[in-house]
Chain A
Amino acid sequence: MEDPISVRRRPDALVAVFLVEAVVAWVLAAPWSETIARTFGAHPDGDRPLFWQPGGLLLLDLEHRLRGVLSALVAATSIGLAVFALGSVVVLGGWLAALDSRALPLRDALARGVSTFFRLLGVGVITWFAIGVLGALLGLIPSWGLAAKLGHWDPRRALLVSSLPLLFALVIIVVLLAVADLARAHIVRHDASLLDGLTEALRDRGRLLAFIAVAAPRTLASIGLIGWGAAISTKSDSILLIFLAHQAIAFARVALRGSVLARALRLTAPREAPEGA
């Protein structure tokens, strides 16, 4: 009998996902650091004066001078992120497959990710489409409408009231994201169709709530780690220390995500044993 599904069961998958993200980040970051190095690297203190010179004189001068280049970098990075977002669907499938089976080699897990690519992509597209539509219909539009109607109110109260639809929309978004993860887990575990995955995810309301109860604190912790990273980067002027802290935080955030995915698999109906087993 296999151990309960958890992120600790497949440290190789965890490290692999972290490395994939780190390497892609390094590749996408290279044009940025190279641009600054070529423009400002002649300074004996490197780019320290850009960021740590009080007043930001050099930073804003550089931004002014490189405005066109920076726009091109933003465009290139955005394309890189979009490509990664597509590729990450394969990684997600592979990760789920690896978590689902202790014995499955990473290469085979990745193959499972490839085979489920379009179904998982479909889950993502449907989820984000639903988030966009419901977020606008239930959150943004009512919020804007309220803000316009409450223009004569005390702005503090008006903000509180007009934010209520946004809070409601946030709850809906959390539910949609949870449904998506459960659907992905079902699709990968049972090689199910997209429709089956979504239907299964929506079938059991108690399971959905149980999953949200587990995923929410992990997601909150993941967001909180960003805050920790920001705090560390403002407290230290050792770039090595900041680098190590940020990488540790990046790793922890990947692990938290893995933990959420593992829980989604655990809440998904077990695979039927092969006949005769």
Chain B
Amino acid sequence: MLTSIGVLGIVFGARSFTPAPVVPAAPPSISPPPGGWPAIPAHAEGVVQYTLSAKLDPVTHEIDGHGKVTLKNTASIVLNDLRLHLYLNAFKNDRSIFRRARVGGFRGDRSRGAGFIDISKLVVDGEDLWPKREWVDHRQQTPQDPNTIATPSVVEGAPDDQTDLRIPLSKPVPAGGSITLEVDFHDKLPEVSERTGYEGSFHFAGQWFPKLARLEKDGTWASFPFHHLAEFYADYGSYDVTLDVPSSFTIGASGPLVESKIEGSRRIERHVIDDVHDFAWTAWDGFVARDVKLEGVDVRFLAPRGYDAAVDREVLSLQHAMRDKNARFGAYPYPVLTVVHPPDGADEAGGMEYPTLITTGGPWWPNHGSHEIEGVTVHEFGHQWFYGLVGTHEVEWPAGDEGFNSFADELTLTSLFGAGSGLSLGPLQISTEVFSRRGIDATFDEPIFQPAHRFATGRSYGGRVYGATAMVLHTLRRIYGPARFDTAMGVWTRRYRFQHPRPEDFFAVLREHVGPDCELAARIMTTTAFSYDVYVESLTSERDKGPIGYFDGTGGRVKKEAEDTGKWVSSVWLGRRGILDLPIDVELRFADGTRTRRSIRFSAPTTAVSAAPAPQPGADVTAIALGMPVEAEPPHGPIATSSNGTWFRIDADGPSQLVAVVVDPDFKLLVDRSRMDNFASLPAGRGGAPITRERSLSWLELLLRGVGP
């Protein structure tokens, strides 16, 4: 009997905290704009063409590379030079900008073993241009760089950071012309750090080849050093890559496999893909592959042995994400996708996006309460749109990919898991938005739309770029309506597929599909150091005793005594910090149990109600005389509002006492810095904390039993 009570209690207790199983939901219905969705181009304008081969030595962790790179001059001017990125040199020494920037902890450990890329030959039309190379010195162009222009390099003759390179051309390339480089290079991979490198025999090659900077239409090069907080930016093109690894290794790479063979002890695979702007690959002799067809896409999951439960979760969340994102942002256009789950110890390779290849991460055990694995998988897959298909400048505008993608994640995860999209433990349902909200309280109120290297710290970057951007977009969506906002986001991702849009393009889409009011709010929230808080300053509600005192009239002086009119005189004062002016819902609660809601704006009290009905008996005549809007609202009597832009007053005189006010009861204002001041009640503190009292009491009884007699 006792044993049964114990066992059943453990089982039921565990079950009550285990969420119900989920299945991929039907895709959302997103309304196209009038006239239909913008036409989606079938292909990108192919600006670059990479034909590369790479041979991996898994013992020395080195890659021998060779290849041809062709660039089409799509700019309107003659090209006299090329700009190349050697990103792998970010790991070369501790004086690279990547490692020396004082940004604190974000995105992993920068101090792990060194790696680099050497070029031995860079030939154009038979001429080796490598000896003519000019390193571009970016010292102190970012706030976190401790090196001043006057700081000498450790070794004379070359800058410490060798991630950005200029190659003067002997023969200029005319507009519309092309140039082909033949390049030999040699990589030494670092211990896995910031998505690239090795751990044991696991290898992940990201940023592994000499990469052309993006050529803007005006002929300027969008080049930059590899910064710890920044990512990448490149032209679309095609990649034809042949990989050569030991035959016992399994390869995962961008693009479809078009050729595979074993030659002696080596495995050779050729992967070819168009319409992308990067290429990454992985090779390991510990991968277990699972191939699944999801929404018409051949998906290959590569994970360590024993990670079946984790892969199950990745399959489920990816299937749901594909349906959700295809409907929202236009269909995923590539035939393949590879999902890499790095082994223990190589976590730094996890959580990264490349075209048609993403890396995820998380524990192997089936922990269904925390949605860590699903969250990472959905996020990295979402990057196929927000960076991949919409090729925003990740360095100059990191919010355009990370922030937009975080917003999109939350929609996807909420449609899969409901309120517990971040964590689901019995009654404790924590949404992913809650974690993003921390970005509102990030260390500094820095503008959200600014270059990655301008953020003061990694924490500020992470909070503002990921969290605050998502909160801004959620707020706009909730305030101006999910239907219109989802349409705007659908237009954004379809109109700018295979393009390189800028923030101004985004504001234009908002203006066009949601309205100028939304555009203005978006501008304030993203381009200024905005901070916003709306709060209840005070709430009063007293018996109306009628006129009291002496009143002179034609009939002489009249003395009025206090009397019970049966009415209440009630007012609420709301305050606002910051210049942002969004429509705000306010809920008023009366003693008779009824509630009423008003949508208010601090700067426009007279527009809140365009056609005020005739005042009812007992209405606030002062408000009416000042032209304030007055509404009849039986049974409470009239509601009058007034404001000077900084404060907002609501008068709700009537037969029932006003006992409480709640600002933004539906949680639309996710950018509201503090929600602890969004309510008031009479008598003050009447709500108390009964649940906390019960919970803390029972928890403490539990603990006391543990240490007690």
Contact = CB atoms under 8 A, between A and B. Distances in A.
A225 interface: yes
B153 interface: no
A29 B699 CA distance: 9
A242 interface: yes
Interface in B683-709: 684-705, 707-709
Interface stretch (B99-107, B264-272, B425-433, B558-566): B425-433
A57 B709 contact: no
A47 B5 contact: no
A77 B700 contact: yes
A232 B81 CA distance: 72
Contacts of B13: 224, 226-231
Interface string B80-115: 000000000000000000000000000000000000
A250 interface: yes
B675 interface: yes
Contact of B675 (A58, A230, A247): A58
B530 interface: no
Contacts of A39: 676
A28 interface: yes
B548 interface: no
A240 to B, nearest CB: 9
Contacts of B702: 226, 250
A57 B678 CA distance: 13
A33 B689 contact: yes
A55 to B, nearest CB: 4
B344 interface: yes
B16 interface: yes
Interface stretch (A85-93, A162-170, A196-204, A265-273): A85-93
A55 B344 contact: no
Contacts of B484: none
B434 A57 contact: yes
A54 B15 contact: no
Contact of A46 (B364, B435, B687): B687
B691 A51 contact: yes
Contacts of A45: 687
Contact of A257 (B15, B681, B709): B709
A277 interface: no
A109 to B, nearest CB: 12
A187 to B, nearest CB: 14
Nearest to B309: A156
A25 B364 contact: no
A235 B14 CA distance: 13
B659 interface: yes
B704 A21 contact: yes
A231 B681 CA distance: 33
A118 interface: no
A277 B306 CA distance: 71
B441 interface: yes
A44 B420 CA distance: 25
A55 B429 contact: yes
Contacts of A40: 676, 687, 689
A48 interface: yes
Contacts of A226: 9, 13, 702
Contact of A220 (B2, B16, B17, B691): B2
A67 to B, nearest CB: 11
A174 interface: no
A205 to B, nearest CB: 23
B589 interface: yes
B636 to A, nearest CB: 16
Nearest to A261: B709
A33 B17 contact: no
A144 interface: no
> Residue among A46, A222, A243, A257 with the most chain B CB within 10 A?
A46
A41 interface: yes
Interface in B1-27: 2-3, 5-17
Interface in A151-207: 151, 153-158
Q: Closest 6 CB pairs between A and B?
A: A227-B13, A224-B9, A54-B419, A46-B687, A224-B6, A220-B6
29 contacts: A24-B704, A25-B700, A32-B696, A40-B689, A41-B687, A41-B688, A46-B690, A47-B687, A54-B429, A55-B434, A56-B423, A56-B434, A60-B430, A61-B674, A82-B707, A84-B708, A88-B704, A88-B707, A91-B708, A153-B306, A155-B307, A157-B306, A222-B6, A223-B10, A227-B9, A227-B13, A227-B14, A231-B16, A239-B694
